[in-house]
């Protein structure tokens, strides 16, 4: 029988980079960035509640079909508290509030303000889930947050950037952060597809009071707005929330939250190209800072195996390591 060395044991215990999780996170960031632009476009024909319901209906239909084809069934009972929490706050409240906010502020401003969410995720993750706050993560978040502030300042003279709109973006960020932290424990019991699908269904049920508005507005909406709504349901919701859950199950909530700081920079570029919303030079500087902060937060020390002892990891990190080891081929 082969002997197992201490170094081999440490290598298995310390979480390693997962290429699939990185690809999933990148997919999420790109699609969520496009969502801010699509919401801005579709919002001209659909009210906030109707747009949210239409988006979630399309997402639920796509996800439900996939669950049936894969025969995954219902999530375990232990996953339901997190599913209900994230479904109501993130899929439901966040979506409606963000739609309303983008009627008052441009897509770039909305993305920047909402991205106080990653900071809240890291703080809530440390408080509620017992996650660590590494120095590189905090440093990267500080750089990205500074970038978001710079972009906000660059747009402070814009008449569209109203105080109520910014306030709604802050509320959306709080709902987003609380939903992510609530979703993380559910992923220890259910698959990424199960947690996303049933969270989306919960959000859909919560938006059913807007059914009348959706039906009446769909009758008179231009085809482009309706197609934008369906796009929001299929890609930024069904696909992006699933890839997010896949990546979140394999890392901490704080690290995943920091990754989304790339979203504002992408939104500024997309809204410039697709909506003609030309960013101010200061906004470009802020976008670069956002991306630089993400790069710093994602870096890991090269001597991590020798500096970090694998003994007695925290409860949350031990679950994450076990889950990652089980998913590796």
Can you give the pLDDT at residue 55? 97
Alpha-carbon distance 184 to 61, whole Å?
Answer: 23
In a domain, 327, yes or no: no
82 found inside a domain: yes
Q: Please, what is the average pLDDT of the chain?
A: 79
Query: 283 and 134 in contact (C-beta within 8 Å)?
Result: no
Q: 233-291 pLDDT, tens per residue?
A: 999 999 999 998 988 888 777 677 667 767 766 776 787 777 776 666 776 777 677 66
What is the rounded CA–CA span in Å between residue 264 and residue 157? 19
pLDDT, greater one: 308 or 50:
50
Can you tell me the mean pLDDT for 34-46?
89
Q: Is residue 268 part of a domain?
A: yes
- Dihedral sign for Cα 307, 311, 315, 317, please: positive
Residue 212 host element (H or E): helix 211-220
Least confident of 51-60, 134-143, 148-157, 198-207: 148-157
pLDDT at res. 258? 66
Check residues 148 and 302 and name the one with the higher pLDDT.
148
Q: Cβ neighbours of residue 141 under 8 Å, at least 6 residues apart?
A: 118, 119, 122, 258, 261, 293, 297
Token pair 């969502």: residue: 35
In a domain, 307, yes or no: no
The pLDDT value recorded for residue 114 is 82
Residue 75 — pLDDT band, cuts 50, 70, 90?
very high
From 71-80, 137-146, 233-242, 286-295, the region with the lowest mean pLDDT: 286-295
Residue 1 lies in a domain: no
Of residues 97 and 123, which shows the higher confidence score? 97
Higher pLDDT, 260 or 184: 184
Q: How many domains does the chain have?
A: 1
**10 part of a folded domain:** no
**Tally of CB atoms within 10 A around 321:** 18
Does some domain include residue 315? no
Least confident segment among 43-57, 207-221, 227-241, 287-301: 287-301
Question: What percent of the chain lies above the pLDDT cut of 70?
Answer: 74
Q: What is the reported pLDDT for 287?
A: 66
Domain region containing 102 = 19-299
Could you tell me if residue 272 is inside a domain?
A: yes
Residue 181, pLDDT above cutoff 60: yes
In this model, does residue 161 exceed pLDDT 60? no
Distance CA 17, CA 39 (A): 33
Alpha carbon distance 289, 303 (integer Å): 27
Nearest Cα to 108, choosing from 231, 277, 225, 281? 277
Contact assessment for residue 9 and residue 206, using Cβ atoms and an 8 Å cutoff: no
Residue 191: per-residue pLDDT: 94
- How many alpha carbons fall within 13 Å on the CB side of residue 71? 0
């Amino acid at each position: 029988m082969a002997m197992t060395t201490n170094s081999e044991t440490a290598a298995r215990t310390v979480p390693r980079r997962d290429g699939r999780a990185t690809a999933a996170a990148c997919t999420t960031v790109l699609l969520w960035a496009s969502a801010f632009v699509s919401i801005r476009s579709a919002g001209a024909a659909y009210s906030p509640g109707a747009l949210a319901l239409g988006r979630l209906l399309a997402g639920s239909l796509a996800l439900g079909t996939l669950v049936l084809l894969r025969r995954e069934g219902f999530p375990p009972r232990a996953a339901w508290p997190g599913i209900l929490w994230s479904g109501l706050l993130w899929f439901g409240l966040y979506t409606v509030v963000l739609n309303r906010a983008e009627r008052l502020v441009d897509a770039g401003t909305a993305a920047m303000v909402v991205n106080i969410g990653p900071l809240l995720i890291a703080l809530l993750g440390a408080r509620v889930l017992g996650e660590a706050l590494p120095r590189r993560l905090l440093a990267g978040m500080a750089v990205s947050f500074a970038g978001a502030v710079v972009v906000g300042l660059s747009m402070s003279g814009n008449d569209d950037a109203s105080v109520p709109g910014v306030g709604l973006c802050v509320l959306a960020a709080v709902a987003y952060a609380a939903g992510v932290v609530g979703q993380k424990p559910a992923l220890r019991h259910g698959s990424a597809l199960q947690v996303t699908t049933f969270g989306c269904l919960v959000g859909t049920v919560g938006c059913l009071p807007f059914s009348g508005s959706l039906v009446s507005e769909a009758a008179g909406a231009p085809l482009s707005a309706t197609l934008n709504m369906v796009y929001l349901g299929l890609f930024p919701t069904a696909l992006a929330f699933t890839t997010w859950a896949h990546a979140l199950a394999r890392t901490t909530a704080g690290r995943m939250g920091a990754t989304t700081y790339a979203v504002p920079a992408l939104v500024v570029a997309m809204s410039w190209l697709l909506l003609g919303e030309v960013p101010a030079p200061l906004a470009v500087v802020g976008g670069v800072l956002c991306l630089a902060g993400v790069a710093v937060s994602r870096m890991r020390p090269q001597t991590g195996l020798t500096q970090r002892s694998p003994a007695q990891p925290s409860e949350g990190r031990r679950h994450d390591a076990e889950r990652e080891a089980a998913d590796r081929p």
